[in-house]
Amino acid sequence: MENSVNNQEINTEETYEIIGVRFKEVGKIYYFDPNGLTFRAGEAAIVETSRGVEYGNVLVGNKRVSGEEVVLPLKKVIRKATEEDKKKLRENEETAEKAKSVFREKCRDHKLDMALVDVEMTFDNSKLLFYFTSEGRVDFREFVKDLASVFKTRIELRQIGVRDEAKQLGGLGICGRAFCCKTFLSDFDQVSIKMAKEQGLSLNAAKISGTCGRLMCCLRYENDVYEEEIKKTPKVGAIVMTPSGKGLVVDSNPLAGLIKVSLDAAKDSPPTQFIREDVKVIGNKKSAETEAKETITE
């Protein structure tokens, strides 16, 4: 459904009139040339996409953007959606809903291990798409032929991952709120265990994984802030000069901008807390130990 990419060099100084259209409740926004029409957010449009003619909801009304902000060339809007178009959309949704029971019946007949997640009928009725999950790869060639003989249209089966399944089905996260992917996340960003580590969270997979079994998407929300604050904060093991003398950083709180230092002059006392801007890093424990060993060897 994505707009095709033009290999020619984009003139970033030139501006283009666009509208933003979304095809799923919480999906990506795609940009189209309004083709001389004026749209407001909340209206609907009939557009040409890579998978055929589609009905979409306008999220961004007419505006001009630079060539850097869009993928060129832009496909043109065909027309504003009419009441007839809305009626056809509802009929397609009903067809897709009925197709679910047929899919499951045929799946049992062919003894295939496939769990149906969702069904879509393209607006122009040129294709019926079935989204499913499976533990492994599935040979569904004969299965597709069987479905095509029933629906008399092109059939496409798409195997999706557990994150996409969660986005399609929805549910409640461990926070008690509806899944982020179902309510407002239009796309999935990469999430890593390093993010949890930098935020001082438990590295127990069960505690930092969502219902889908993958690392929680919300680990990324504050990650940029943590990364920025960590860069400014002396690391544990750093040798620093403080207003109270030299010492070793034994703990840090990057978000608060605080560090705890074991002072050389008071090693038997509890670590002293300082604001990170009040200390200066002059070395680290490992390099100091290495220098000491080299001195002994010499």
Q: How far apart are CA 43 and CA 60, in angstroms?
A: 10
Residue 51: per-residue pLDDT = 79
The more confident residue out of 199 and 10 is 199
pTM of the model: 0.69
Arithmetic mean of pLDDT, 106-130? 91
Highest-confidence segment of 5-9, 68-72, 87-91: 87-91
Q: Which helix (H) or strand (E) holds 14?
A: none
For the stretch 18-73, pLDDT in tens is 999 999 887 889 999 999 999 999 999 999 888 789 999 999 999 999 888 888 88
Q: How far apart are CA 227 and CA 196, in angstroms?
A: 11
pLDDT band at 4 (very low <50, low <70, confident <90, very high): very low
Task: Identify the weakest region by mean pLDDT among 69-73, 96-100, 256-260.
Answer: 69-73
The more confident residue out of 228 and 51 is 228
Beta carbons of 151 and 143 less than 8 angstroms apart = no
When the pLDDT of each residue in the chain is averaged and rounded to a whole number, the result is 88
First to last CA, the chain: 69
Arithmetic mean of pLDDT, 268-289? 85
Q: Which helix (H) or strand (E) holds 12?
A: none
The more confident residue out of 71 and 93 is 93
Arithmetic mean of pLDDT, 256-284? 92
Beta carbons of 249 and 298 less than 8 angstroms apart = no
Residue 9: per-residue pLDDT = 52
pLDDT band at 120 (very low <50, low <70, confident <90, very high): very high
Beta carbons of 250 and 272 less than 8 angstroms apart = no
Arithmetic mean of pLDDT, 87-96? 94
pLDDT band at 298 (very low <50, low <70, confident <90, very high): very low
| Per-residue pLDDT at 96 exceeds 90 | yes
